[in-house]
Structure 1
């Protein structure tokens, strides 16, 4: 059976692990915990291929506890009960270390089965997840664990792992591999900090290399083509998807068109055109808003064009919308105003309308004041007349505050003018 390259070169010591210096360097928290020999319940959180499973295995190998490994995608409640059944037996007398990969796939009942044994120390849990544990893991389990976040591996460190991968492939195939100068760096930069992806790419590139009398020749062009094809996908349901969309919106909000174009390109490279379109429409209303009201009209036109064109041509109107929004003046005044109004609806419900706004013209016998008494603004100068529009309980509320941009200040000046003239 073929063993993937990533498993063949999996580190056996902490010093061999690439990346995660913030956790594993000398004196860092996780390193100290592991070296103490007293392993608490832990949850490793981070993207795929950054060393969570590797570090958990190194910890397991360093203890005298009985090790059990389960995967949340395939383990059942019966599997958990089998682990728990060893508590108090001869095989579990030194404690049981359960390594649970992909814990986010366990339901609440499955996670609760472990709590009692975690509390009394009979089971030590090391769980890993690619999703935010504060959303994906049961709160009671998190409260009994320490969460460590694993980061994508920096390219300069990942490049060392890529070089090791090529050396391992040479030994495995018994052939010399001739690499162009930029191959290792290209793979390291193109794999998004994912060691497993990088190793899979190394294996794919070697198998696709040109076989000559002197060995296997790997060109920069081959590395670029296969790295791009194998590594530009991502799971639209995981944290990376939402991180990309968040980074896009925050870059536009911060008026950095270059960063916004970068994150847009990453989303489009993953063929996620729909998410980009939806987020740009939100940004036009939330972050540009009334500072440039035409922005949402232009963005909608760009989005419609992109959806009709499809990729790759869709990138052109999308880029136009991104640059427009990033370089436009910004205002979130309408966004803040509707949030304040929604908060009052949540608090006060649906109080009665002022009588003169109701869509009825006759009062019942019980009415203290008869007649609608609505004043038609178009019958007055500047098409304005003072009257109450909000319900009585909210009549003095102010939800909208004019922004400081030129567009809203012009509207504020007009409002002040008609109010002043209404008093004369």
Structure 2
């Protein structure tokens, strides 16, 4: 399904739309040396082939993983022969970051003289992986992961294309199944197409004409959950213990703990469950609870039985009597939901790290305001990706230390809302 022309290419509109850099270069059939930096499956290799094709150049493709100076020398000799015929040579090097310094140095004079037009593809930051002299002789273009709607175009094209795709199978796909493939692909066209192909194969084997969610889940998921179905009482007892801690009943918690210890339960398993409870059910209402739960586990490991059991009992009583809040638990659940729904959203430029000159030129860190330079070490500033602006996950309770956190967070959120309002009015 690799596109045969630029018209078929999907994505990277910021480079290929009319008036954009690649579009303008190709209109004049001018191709400078390029470094294509982007995530897997965004079209780097395909774009390199199409650029060479549009420029009418001789195209040579190698991988830095399997090639070395010997292969480069052969390519240079062939490029000289092509030049005598009036033909330019575009050398595409996949995973160029894998070339060592000597291999990159070998390319320099041939790129500089124009014998070779280099197009390097990398998933790594070229500021760190490509030597400065080579980087200065090439234009770095940043490619983006494909948007969900772009992945959708590719999937439907593959499903309907009878010559290159799956069209001969006559399959349809449920909307829910399509969206699941898109989500799991996270902007990687290769992953999406591989998932569709496997789901289609499963459908064909089962005699189905529609790819449903069950088939897609089978195609993209690789993990299986194991569960000891013979240990019901084990799970009943630990459930009773945890619910007693959550329900603020220290007496019941001690009873269920004693039952488990008497039955030969691993004390460290009980300790780990208390650590879970400290974060899930107490959280920032009493941050000390997590420290005490962890300390109890360490104390048992140091003392063993029977003295170590007293440390576990002390922690259990403390947790049961502590103020309760599941605000952090709920906040993480909401955040995970957004991650699942929206996939890998890009980090806003102003809060990206910018240790190299290239990254600064690309706008990394531009406009960032350092909190410690402002009164109270707080400055209204957006930290979310654009699609999630204004999201709130953490809503502290009025219990324990969270009451103070709630007051503090309310002040900060109000300052941020007022700042947004002023900018929109101004």
Q: What is the TM-score normalised by the length of structure 1?
A: 0.52
Q: 1:17 and 1:228, CA in 2 relative to 1: closer, same or farther beyond 3 A?
A: farther
**In structure 2, what is the equivalent of residue 220 of structure 1?**
213
**In structure 2, what is the equivalent of residue 368 of structure 1?**
none
Q: For 1:8-407, what aligned pairs fall within 5 Å after superposition? A: 9-90=1-82, 93-168=86-161, 174-209=168-203, 211=205, 216-229=209-222, 294=288, 297=291, 320=329
- Give distance in 2, aligned partners of 1:68 and 1:58: 12
**In structure 2, what is the equivalent of residue 389 of structure 1?**
none
- Deviation for aligned residue 1:157: 1.4
Instruction: After superposing the two structures, state which structure 1 stretch, 24-33 or 193-202, moved more.
Output: 24-33
Q: Secondary structure at the match of 2:72?
A: helix
- Who wins on radius of gyration, i.e. which is larger? 1
Q: 1:211 and 1:118, CA in 2 relative to 1: closer, same or farther beyond 3 A?
A: closer
- Deviation for aligned residue 1:181: 3.0
Q: Secondary structure at the match of 1:190?
A: helix
- Give distance in 1, aligned partners of 2:167 and 2:332: 50
Q: Secondary structure at the match of 1:85?
A: helix
- Deviation for aligned residue 1:293: 8.3
Q: 1:202 and 1:169, CA in 2 relative to 1: closer, same or farther beyond 3 A?
A: farther
Preserved CA contact (<8 Å) 1:72 1:106:
yes
Preserved CA contact (<8 Å) 1:190 1:228:
no
Q: Show structure 1 runs of 5+ residues with no match.
A: 1-8, 231-291, 305-316, 327-400, 408-424
- Cα deviation, 1:32-66, whole Å, max 9, x if unaligned, reads 12222110010000111011111100011122332
Q: 1:33 and 1:298, CA in 2 relative to 1: closer, same or farther beyond 3 A?
A: farther
Q: Secondary structure at the match of 2:60?
A: strand
Q: Secondary structure at the match of 1:86?
A: helix
- Give distance in 2, aligned partners of 1:17 and 1:139: 31
- Give distance in 2, aligned partners of 1:162 and 1:125: 31
Q: What is the TM-score normalised by the length of structure 2?
A: 0.52
Q: Secondary structure at the match of 2:161?
A: helix
Q: 1:297 and 1:119, CA in 2 relative to 1: closer, same or farther beyond 3 A?
A: farther
Q: 1:72 and 1:322, CA in 2 relative to 1: closer, same or farther beyond 3 A?
A: farther
Q: Show structure 2 runs of 5+ residues with no match.
A: 224-285, 299-325, 336-374, 379-400, 406-426
Runs of 4+ displaced beyond 6 Å: 298-304, 401-407
- Give distance in 2, aligned partners of 1:225 and 1:141: 45
- Give distance in 2, aligned partners of 1:116 and 1:302: 65
- How many residues are paired up? 250
**In structure 1, what is the equivalent of residue 268 of structure 2?**
none
- Deviation for aligned residue 1:168: 3.1
- Give distance in 2, aligned partners of 1:49 and 1:299: 45
- Deviation for aligned residue 1:323: 5.2
Preserved CA contact (<8 Å) 1:210 1:216:
yes
Structure 1 vs Structure 2 CA RMSD: 3.7
Q: 1:81 and 1:20, CA in 2 relative to 1: closer, same or farther beyond 3 A?
A: same
Q: 1:59 and 1:301, CA in 2 relative to 1: closer, same or farther beyond 3 A?
A: farther
- Cα deviation, 1:250-272, whole Å, max 9, x if unaligned, reads xxxxxxxxxxxxxxxxxxxxxxx
Q: Secondary structure at the match of 2:169?
A: coil
